[in-house]
Structure 1
Amino acid sequence: MWIGTRMAMAVVATGMGGAGSATVPGSFAYGIDPAHARVQAKVGFFGLGSKTARFPRLEGRVALSERDAQAVTLDVRIDAQALEAGDSLTRSRLRGPDFFDVERYPRVIFHGSTMTRTGPHSAQVAGTITARGVTRPATLAVDFSRDFSAMTGREPVHIAASTRIDRRDFGMIAYPLIVGRQVTITIDADLVPGRD
């Protein structure tokens, strides 16, 4: 779970405790505030209800530029080992080898390569998601709390993003008659100006 005259977005992950990257020249720098950021993954269960995994830890940086509304570099890292669920059995299964296999693959990564504005404060960011060592195409629908034309790089901005993936594309094929194929991923995060 990404402007005004013409603005591009570049996001470079710091890693889960790693060092930051250089800011894109001519860009506004933002950092994802780890204390106000979360990711959820929701999947159908028995065709009647759903199960939700929560990923409370993610880090990254965002830079917005006036130069090119379609240019995007986006790399955000999500700590899969921090995965939480509604009960201990679900949490154990989702962390285990049938699903996220967090011991072998401790990170989920989104990399964006193209952004298309769809409204005054919304955009589609196309790129890839990597989970369980598998990389597949994905597109995030992103809503910003401010109109693109009002962003200056000096104010905090909230983003809400979502995408849908097929879990089988990432090798998560267990329990096909119980757990749905389509997974809806949502991201809510506060962006803090000039934060590494």
Structure 2
Amino acid sequence: MTRSPFLCLVGLLAACAALAPAAGEEAASVPAASADPLPAGTYRLDKYHASLIFRVDHLGFSYYVGRFSDFDAVLSLDPAEPSRARLDAVVRTDSLGLENPPEGFRDTLLGPEWLDAAGHPEMRFQSKRVVVSGPDTARIEGDFTFRGVTRPLTLEARFNGGYAGHPYDPNARIGFSARAVLKRSEYGMTIGLPEPPFNMGVGDAVEVLIEAEFTGPAWKGAPAPQRNNNR
């Protein structure tokens, strides 16, 4: 995954800070993030720091893993009232990525019996309700549209942290991990389902794993740009 310029810079500064200082000098330090409360507003997905992975049972022997690389999301959030948050996410079906697929296998999965990327180029999730389930967890209940079928789906989400801003990052930033499980048969994808009581086939349950960072409103307390006195 490509690292953002911000994280590359912070990593460089952290490495410099770890070096022993020269005689009479103080060690460099990484500036701290803002302690201001997270602002309310619109948070947009940072695609450089997001992943969308799925896995499904294969013959009962292992889980077959794939991912989608082209997706976007917008989160409307007031941290003081998290239950009123709204999430809208869209995934390009043809952005499917696989590990070492046999020749032609990806095209098969994009075909009409599986993902049907030509007929339904996008998948979409739209939240309807957020239920706070713990100090840093919530259930995001909404509608998921896949292969032209819309059904309820719940994301089990964990808030990993955030800040209102950083000297090297002029916007608010928050991070989440989320998990959901759906039955592909409910969306008309029945090919390869095992015949009970056997497991010879591809499982019905599909587990979805999401890692995502969002950037939000500009940091009101951001340091003012320094002027060049030589000009």
Which TM-score band applies after superposition, normalised by the shorter structure? 0.7 to 0.9
**Which of residues 32, 42, 46 in structure 1 aligns to 2:59?**
46
Q: 2:87 aligns with which of 71, 74, 79?
A: 74
Q: Larger radius of gyration, structure 1 or 2?
A: 2
Structure 2 partner of 1:19:
none
Measured in 1, the distance between the counterparts of 2:129 and 2:112 equals 32
Q: Could you tell me which residue of structure 2 aligns to residue 33 of structure 1?
A: 46
Contact 1:42 1:184 in 2 (8 A): yes
Identical pairs, percent: 26
Q: Deviation of residue 152 (structure 1)? A: 4.6
- Does structure 2 retain, via aligned residues, the 8 Å contact 1:81–1:95? yes
Q: Which has the higher strand share?
A: 1
1:21-48, Cα deviation, whole Å (9 max, x unpaired)? xxxxx93221101222221111000111
Shift of 1:67: 6.2
Offset, 1:74: 2.0
Report which stretch shifted further, 165-174 or 64-73.
Answer: 64-73
2:176 counterpart of 1:159: yes
Q: Could you say which residue in structure 2 is the equivalent of 1:63?
A: 76
Partners of 1:184 and 1:38 lie apart in 2 by 14
Q: TM-score when scaled to structure 2?
A: 0.66
Tell me the residue number matched to 1:111. 126
Residues 95-153 of structure 1 show CA distances to partners (whole Å, capped at 9, x for unaligned) of 1111111111111111111111112221111011111111111110011112xxx7658
Superposed CA RMSD in Å reads 2.0
Paired residue type of 2:181:
R
Describe the SS at the equivalent of 1:155.
strand
Aligned CA distance change for structure 1 residues 33 and 106 (closer, same or farther; 3 Å): same
Question: Once the 2 structures are TM-superposed, how far is the Cα of residue 72 of structure 1 from its aligned partner?
Answer: 3.8
Q: Summarize the Cα distance change of 1:64–1:152 in structure 2 as closer, same or farther, 3 Å threshold.
A: farther
Aligned position for 1:91: 106
Quote the residue 1:176 is aligned against.
193
Moved over 4 A (4+): 150-154
* Alpha-carbon distance between aligned partners in 2 of 1:47 and 1:135, rounded to the nearest angstrom: 28
Code of the residue aligned with 1:188 in structure 2: it is E
Amino acid at match of 1:162: R
Q: Is the 8 A contact 1:59 1:78 kept in 2?
A: yes
Greater RCO, CA 8 A, separation 6+: 1
How far, CA to CA, are the matches of 1:103 and 1:85 in structure 2? Answer: 18
Match for 1:44: what amino acid? D
Partner secondary structure for residue 97 of structure 2: coil
* 1:120-139 correspondence runs (5 A): 120-139=135-154
List alignment gaps of at least 5 residues for structure 2.
Answer: 1-38, 166-170, 195-200, 219-231
Task: Report the alpha carbon displacement of residue 68 of structure 1 after superposing the two structures with TM.
Answer: 4.1
Preserved contact between residue 27 and residue 64 of structure 1 (Cα < 8 Å): yes
Deviation at 1:159, TM superposition (A): 1.1
Counterpart residue identity of residue 145, structure 1: N
Return the alpha-carbon distance in structure 2 between the equivalents of residues 116 and 136 of structure 1: 18
Question: Partner residue of 1:192?
Answer: 215
Comparing 160-169 with 45-54, which one deviates more in the overlay?
Answer: 45-54
Q: Secondary structure at the match of 1:165?
A: strand
**SS at structure 1 position matched to 2:109:** helix
Describe the SS at the equivalent of 1:97: coil
Long gaps (5+) in structure 1: 1-25
The question of whether the paired residues in 1 share the 8 Å contact of 2:76 and 2:85 is answered with no
